[in-house]
Structure 1
């Protein structure tokens, strides 16, 4: 079908308030809004001022009342434990009512904060919805996060209660959560009044009398009693949740999401951006601890009346690189949203895609990638293997939904590998130089968004309005600073090349590490790679490429590395001064799959290495340092 994108985007440009008022008709409001947009609220204005609503009602109750009680709302699939379950909208509402009753019985009311510290189980989704039902503000912390990191979030959010599970389960190991939670509370100045612990059979937790409660037992009692809790009206501009993202100062930033604008934006995105109809199965293979999990495991699919998948597993190793295909086939998934890292891992383990042949993927229409740059080689591989559109899109924790994408529901635009395509309605994306001047098409610069930001984006940081302004608004007045660097081409397609911190200066030339990574990733033996700029006494910085080879590659590493150096010189030119490619077994990543380039740079430069709170396996940092030492690159220590 011909794309309606340009027509829809221009309609938003002509009448932004009219556009979002029409989108807001998809939401059930308890009280209508006085203003579509009030520029006096928040850091740059807020959407749907004066309205009252309840997010849980819009996710569950209205679907039960209007013909979807028996439709699956949540499909739980845990290849790690072997557990599977399906919860209809009616059953999910019953459990959310029970959990809300447990919280209300223990004094949780509108405006209270509740920290959720759980693995990928259905109760994590239900906990978020139970908080929303009461008007409480949830803050999900990735299950198994270190005690000191959890402690900083407890002190910042000052929760009245914590909802936790007794353990999380990773391939080959069980992580007991309760000792981490106990230590976090011991370290915190703020002490939550209550902890509700869901006991998992793989590791039962010891409960402290007076503070700790058995969540499962209390929910069972509430369900047996048929407890129902009315949805509490909240303002559209009231916070729904706080989600902490790493800050450059080391103190995490509490991104605030409101209720009204969030619902409007996410509901709009499900049909228009993702092309999903109510009743279809949508799978975001992420974690509820990250923004993707908040937006597209929990809220958007349920607002839309779709079915969401809660997956407790990994793209490889649970049990093999075919698990994604098994889940898609078994649950009739229409669209999958995951990180490029997941597909690089699958490609590394099964480069020929042999495991695909074992599954019927006839239900599957679209693969969406986001979370980090999607290199063209991985995109091409996924397209070749799956035979469906592979759609990259770009957004941030702060925005909550896509800034730039290819709107499947409006009709696909031509795909350009390496580009997440074009700005979505609500986002006026510009490329500026460091002084704030517009740059011509094809020129690398700072990617910014003209204010105001659309519904769904953060209005402020939790109890830190000055930090919000300094972090996002001060450097380019009138614009939101994304801290990404990129290029806009003549067709209006955006290419995100790197975080602005990853633009390196080689002998006065500003070069994108992302462009070099594209070249390295195109080599047939390379599974994944990362390029960082390391200090060079002559040139200021010099690029260093770390590469992980595909499974089964047996050629000498030195031979492959020499080919990679030649490839970068051929495609980018001698100006890149690319002379160093290092083969490593694996790259350090966050638990959401982002490569920790800044940490790798610190190791190479011998500067103080700050252990990232979100690192998946700290031992990889020692492997990176050893690889650098073997090549005679001076490192600290």
Structure 2
């Protein structure tokens, strides 16, 4: 009997009573009218969705007797009711050196956030990603496809070839003193050698820390100083476009000059476009790794405890000091194996492509480790959705490499929609083989998701809120939600559970799907009496269905989620577990609707308080991007003397000449927001600002915090030079100056009363 069917045979838990629903619109609970309409109106359309399993947050995941229980929710209920049995079955898909005898352990009941998964198990993650597949008949299967339109290179590596390359890199690291528990820092772009080095570290039991190539010297220095690497592996440069080269070596040299800690060795991958000058004692990758003969290779691999760190991945901290998220080896391997086929519908031997960089969590989980642990083929893409060479890049890669599952950020779709609104480039390619397309990184606005689905699958859902998955499952476009801290999805639609679309929850546009296995998701009410940044809510209250609140996960957390911050266990507790005792604070706000779908609306600091009305910036953005002349936008708060804050819409028009004037577009936007969100949103035409580009991180997220800071500073100082520090993650610094100039020009004419 398969694991999934075994789960479904288990009895369901007894339902608990749901708390009475609060009024949908109140001073404490304001949402987009369009979102409410999609959830509450048109009974004929939404009667079909009412069969979706209902998540009662006060219990766990319970469905009404009259509702159909989808496989995903039945599996999740079992995982919450019997975590020991559930995860002991799931871990059997991993090859252990010493198999675990139990699933979880909480050493200190007073610290329930410190859970150990598979505590007595020993494994090697690299062995699970490579060796076992070579031994089990996949030696000649393609493991890695490197597709680099910026250099004109497409290279393929079989599992056997990739294993050989990893053994070479592991041999080099050992010869330079790297041993189990030591750190190795990577400062590279989307090149195969980065994946090779990551796996080589895992092979030795060393802990790698990948820093996105191109980070400023000061930011790179903070990470070197924090993790104290024995070896630094860098590229000579990064290639970020057909004609854009970023020198990495000078940035690395600057960082090392700032650091007290000095690595024992620096290895530099010399890229032909820009060969770097090496300092004494430094060595090129070509000499240090490529030249190692077979007779000198290290063929072993180290056994590590399940709770031992696999890697450190730094994420931004509110104090300016980066947080080093530590990923436990065993739990991460189990969850990645579990999600590849069930969540992402990619079987061993099939092709999986995440259009991300290795410096971000998506690159770690679902470019490097997840697909390889699963025995799939992973695509490493060095390019952009446009300009490499045109907006057909994504479609070409999917078609040329027969991609089964594709993963990208909603921002990439916004860019494609702006450049190719009618999908003309899409028409050149046959994508019938694509089973599923997943989105994550930011909330995907319904209009963007519908546009992508229309041009990928040919299904026009204009104006609809729900898409029913057909049979067989093909070209599904689904949002899912997770974080650097979690390492794998917390919510989504688990497309791989069945080929029968009727057994899968429908796609609800604008939602992030439903909670997945091991995730006991709750929504806690926002309380006016608490300072959300500092206070502890000792008596949190759960929000009603449809009420916006703080998204939290009830402890214990499922396997694979971070188990500490590097060298800072106290900060780990205070940042994520202190505010709501017994829960993991995700830092996101949102709601669970009446059908159990999770809507992640914004980060907690992106909620705008307008005259005591809490408004999610996402609810306004959803309305703005539906305008025919708007390509993308972001909404931030502007301080206001009377109302506290009012929304400011920062928008980008489509590249073609608008058929309306800018003033007409402003009027349309304001009218739509008044109708769909409400007059209380206080969006005025004076607070609609047009820019040529939005500032974004290299992973595609809009830098809303920077824009908020710009507006706040400009209200007191209309200087020609922006006083706001440049975020280390910004993709293009020139955009910051453009937006600052637009904000200054706007504030010189905008009235304070509006």
The CA deviation at 1:570 is 0.8
Mean alpha-carbon deviation: is it higher for 547-556 or for 574-583? 547-556
1:9 aligns with 76
Structure 2: distance between partners of 1:567 and 1:223:
67
TM-score by length of structure 1 reads: 0.98
Which of 548, 573, 598 is matched with 1:469 structurally? Answer: 573
Could you tell me which residue of structure 2 aligns to residue 455 of structure 1?
Answer: 559
Partner residue in 2 for 1:295: 365
Cα deviations across residues 537-567 of structure 1 (Å, max 9, x unaligned)? 1100000001111221333212111111111
CA distance in 1: counterparts of 2:746 and 2:211, whole angstroms: 39
- Per-residue CA deviations over 1:417-460 (Å, capped at 9, x if unaligned) read 11011101111110002442111001010000001111110011
1:423 matches 2:510:
no
| Distance across 1 between alignment mates of 2:608 and 2:347 | 44
Q: Do residues 110 (structure 1) and 202 (structure 2) align?
A: no
Distance 2:322 2:482 in 1: 19
Matched, 1:190 2:305: no
Aligned match of 1:581: 688
User: What is residue 54 of structure 2 aligned with on the other side?
Assistant: none
Q: Secondary structure at the match of 1:439?
A: coil
Query: In 1, are the aligned partners of 2:446 and 2:622 still within 8 Å (CA)?
Result: yes
Q: Is the 8 A contact 2:345 2:435 kept in 1?
A: no
Any unmatched runs of 5+ in structure 1? Answer: none
| Bigger-Rg structure (1/2) | 2
SS at match of 1:222: coil
Q: Which runs of 5+ in 2 are unaligned?
A: 1-67, 458-474, 499-503, 527-536, 715-722
Deviation at 1:9, TM superposition (A): 1.3
Partners of 2:196 and 2:606 lie apart in 1 by 39
Number of aligned pairs?
634
Q: Is the 8 A contact 1:604 1:634 kept in 2?
A: no
Deviation at 1:495?
0.5
Q: Aligned to 1:35, what secondary structure does the other structure show?
A: coil
SS of equivalent residue, structure 1 residue 585:
coil
Q: CA deviation at 1:208?
A: 1.8
Tell me how far apart the structure 1 counterparts of residues 196 and 733 of structure 2 sit (CA, whole Å).
32
Is the contact between residue 606 and residue 634 of structure 1 (CA under 8 Å) also seen in structure 2?
A: no
Q: 1:621 aligns with which of 731, 736, 747?
A: 736
User: Is the partner of 1:67 in helix, strand or coil?
Assistant: helix
Distance in 1 between residues matched to 2:159 and 2:388, nearest whole Å: 28
Question: Could you say which residue in structure 2 is the equivalent of 1:601?
Answer: 708
Structure 1 counterpart of 2:233: 163
3-state SS of 1:631 partner: helix
Q: Distance in 1 between matches of 2:417 and 2:707?
A: 24
Q: Are the structure 2 counterparts of residues 377 and 505 from structure 1 closer, same or farther at C-alpha, using a change threshold of 3 Å?
A: same
1:631 counterpart = 2:739: no
- The answer to whether the aligner puts 1:498 opposite 2:602 as a matched pair is yes
Q: Distance in 2 between matches of 1:52 and 1:183?
A: 39
1:382 corresponds to 2:497: no
Report matched runs for 1:279-358 at 5 Å: 279-358=349-428
1:433 and 2:525 matched = yes
Which residue of 432, 443, 454 corresponds with 2:547? Answer: 443
In 1: Cα distance, 2:294 partner to 2:520 partner:
52
Aligned-partner Cα distance in 1 for 2:70–2:214: 44
CA distance in 2, matches of 1:229, 1:546: 55
Is 2:409–2:440's contact at 8 Å kept on the other side of the alignment? yes
| Cα RMSD for the two superposed structures | 1.5
Q: Which moved more, 1:484-493 or 1:41-50?
A: 41-50
Q: TM-score, normalising length from structure 2?
A: 0.83
| Matched residue SS, 2:628 | coil
For the pair 1:520 / 2:624, whether they are aligned, the reply is yes
Greater CA drift, 426-435 or 334-343: 426-435
Map 1:197-208 → 2, pairs under 5 A = 197-208=268-279
Separation (CA, whole Å) in 2 of partners of 1:272 and 1:240 = 23
For residues 326 and 689 of structure 2, the distance between their equivalents in structure 1, rounded to whole angstroms, comes to 41
Q: 1:51 deviation in Å? A: 1.0
Aligned mates of 1:597, 1:223 — CA distance in 2: 51
Given that residues 267 and 288 in structure 2 are in contact (C-alpha distance below 8 angstroms), is that contact kept between their aligned partners in structure 1? no
| Residue 341 (structure 1) shift | 0.6
| CA–CA separation in structure 2 for the residues paired with 1:268 and 1:633 | 55
Among candidates 487, 491, 499, match of residue 400 of structure 1: 487
Provide Cα deviations, 1:15-53, integer angstroms capped at 9, x if missing partner. Answer: 011111111000000012243111127842110101110
SS in 1 for 2:710: helix
- Per-residue Cα deviation, 1:513-559 (whole angstroms, up to 9, x for no partner): 11000000111111111000110011000000011112213332121
1:572 has 2:677 as partner: yes
Secondary structure of 2:200's counterpart equals helix
* Deviation of the 1:226 alpha carbon: 5.9
Quote the residue 1:66 is aligned against: 136
1:629 and 1:135 map into 2 onto residues whose CA distance is 52
Give the Cα–Cα distance (whole angstroms) in 1 for the partners of residues 238 and 153 of structure 2. Answer: 14
Report what 2:649 is aligned to.
545
Correspondence for 1:559: 664
Distance 1:50 1:410 in 2: 30
Q: Deviations over 1:355-407 (max 9, x none)?
A: 11111212211110000110001100011000021100000000000011110
Give the aligned partner of residue 87 of structure 2: 20
State how far apart, in whole Å, the 1-side matches of 2:379 and 2:303 are.
28
Q: Secondary structure at the match of 1:337?
A: strand
C-alpha deviation, 1:138, in angstroms: 0.1
Take 1:75 and 1:459, find their aligned partners in 2: how far apart are those partners? Answer: 32
* Contact residue 94 and residue 223 of structure 1 kept, 8 A: no
